[in-house]
Amino acid sequence: MVKKDFTASIELEKSNHDVFRAITGDVAKWWGGKDLEGNSTKLNDEFVIHHPGAHYSKQKLVEIIPGKKIVWLVTESELSWLEKDKHEWTNTKIIFEISTKGDKTILDFTHEGLVPEKECYDRCRQGWGMVIREWLFNYIINSKTI
């Protein structure tokens, strides 16, 4: 069976620990900016990202393996620009898996449930590409101490 969930990977010259801390430490610095409320450091932490008129989602940290894996469950969502189902993200999972390849750290990102059949797929694929490959990547590599 071919996996169709949206995925993105980045290679970094930072430790697994630094990458992990960047993702969990302050999500607002790489995703959401001032439109983020809540925490994402401990199991069962919850946070909300709200860009009025475009995006609302509430995430719950449901799995955390320090230096290796972070999983957020989207417990509520509303993508106001969708026509069919504005709540397509609800009950999907946002997964960060961290591994090492030689002297590099690999971050594999998956939005489980974001599949090509979803109305938001093309636009969300572009958005996640920017968030992971640009915003998060730049935040991690430009942070002196994370």
Please identify, in words, the CATH class of the domain defined by 6-142.
alpha beta
What mean pLDDT is reported for the chain? 91
Residues 6+ apart with CB under 8 A from 143: 18, 22
Greatest CA separation found in the chain?
46
Residue 119 and residue 23: Cα distance in Å, rounded?
Answer: 27
**In the chain, domain spans:** 6-142
Ramachandran area for residue 14 (φ above 0: left; ψ -120 to 50: alpha; else beta): beta
Q: Which helix or strand (DSSP H or E) is residue 71 part of?
A: strand 69-79
pTM score: 0.93
Position 1 confidence tier, pLDDT thresholds 50, 70, 90: low
Confidence at residue 29, expressed as pLDDT on a 0 to 100 scale: 86
pLDDT digits (tens, 9 = 90+) for 5-38: 999 999 999 999 999 999 998 888 888 677 788 8
